[in-house]
Structure 1
Amino acid sequence: MESATIIQVENLNKSFPNKGKPEPVLQHISFHIERGEIISILGQSGCGKTTLLNIIGGFEKPDQGRVLFDGKVVERPSRRCVMLFQHYGLLPWRSVLKNVELGLESLKLAPKERRDRAFDYLKLVGLHENADRFPNELSGGMQQRVAIARALALQPEVILMDEPFAALDTFNRYYLQDELLRLQAKEKTTIVLVTHDIDEAVYLSDRVFMMSANPGQIHRELKIQNSRPRDRGHSDFQYYRKIILEEFHFHHPTSPIDYHI
């Protein structure tokens, strides 16, 4: 029987050299993620969120500890777990459709099958009518939807997202958050999202892992009990928001908080 846990992070430690000495970036990080969950990793800039995401994805190796994906140790990147970056990574000389096809080119698919699958995922994100356009002809929000379509076209079990909406204005960010929830409900993909936007974490997540810095540690896990869709103006939403704000003020009493509030 398939295990409910898809990712298991066990006692991760990671350092990077700084002036000839190892500087701890992550320390004693342990948690699990269940299939179909949306998890947010929330913390200030420099607390090691992106490094943690890179280790989960197999792009970085931990100094100690390990990550298990579906019970097997992660040693390298895999198509079952794909990364979606803040900077969309679209190739400017390729059309929207050809950008979505890019990830499929290493698969053993006939050209028509590859094109059809890419087109289907463009349709899923509402951009099929822009299939022949080029990235510079699209808005930032549309480019991010192309990047999401490209990730989904690989039909991964997990998508890792590194502040994917941070560069967008509020309206585009809200729109894409709703799009992400719609797509995730349809595809049943597990999502791990790095963010420093408290509202985004509360709006999207089943659980929020709050990280402190120097070295990066998870000092609290918060389960968001509200069903979706969530109302940003509702008292329940404000209740979770307040818990998170108090948590960070408490842990960083002298630091300016640079979160989107």
Structure 2
Amino acid sequence: MYNKIVLLCLLLSNFVAFAQDGSLKISKQVITLKTTRLEINNDGFPKQCDVFDVNTEVKPQKLLFEPMHFHFYSGAKAQEKMNGIGVNITTQNADSIVWNAISTSANLKMDVQGKMLSNGVVSYHINITAINDILLTTMNFHIPFEKTATKYLAGLGEKGGLRPDTVRWQLGNWQKIKPSVWIGNDSLGLYFSLSKPTTLLPSNGAMQINVKGGSMLLDVNADQITLKKDEQVSFDFNLIITPQIPTELRIPVKKKLKFYRKLVQQS
């Protein structure tokens, strides 16, 4: 038992050094940190996340089936069509990269502020403002994963292991079950957590993870959101792209959630 504890401590300390020892680089809208890449879409959200091995010619492993995105429904078949103006990089150095982007529709304006730190933590703050009075019957934030990148899951009440067919979480469970989850396979993955200040999710807000079509979908959703003209709500979350690291430094699935949650808290 003692030897196992010592080994785990060594693994964790080595992983911390690996995760935090890096400098950020950006070319156009692609941020690189060691063996991870984050490509930013024109709406400010991740277009693609991947991990690669600089020492081999193996093709990068892609995490996303399609870009992360919002859906805003004002009726059963009526959806606000958001048009992204483009990304503006406001801070760029080895320790942090900050960007913002604006998207608009006929009735909504969405301001996206993103920030990535050299320890791998990505934080998002989104303000959604009503241009006109509107009732959103349903709001969805989607993270569509490549199925091959979703073998394991830890969080949302799951202790960590093979991903169940369906995982659900309700906003009412916030005090008991934190809205944070790690999803991945043996060499890459993604940590996702909702931030407490978010105001976009009313009491009926929920999260669901299940296979949908050709992807595995993480869906954050809420119903019946009424906004008056100029009224604003926010949606805040954090991401960490799990780096590809040598087998001997990999943290067991059951330990990943606590490790990444602490990394976010320290940022």
Q: Common fold, TM-score beyond 0.5?
A: no
Higher relative contact order (CA 8 A, sep 6+): 1
Instruction: Compare the two structures and name the one with the higher helix fraction.
Output: 1
Instruction: Compare the two structures and name the one with the higher strand fraction.
Output: 2
Q: TM-score, normalized by length of structure 1?
A: 0.26
Q: TM-score, normalized by length of structure 2?
A: 0.26
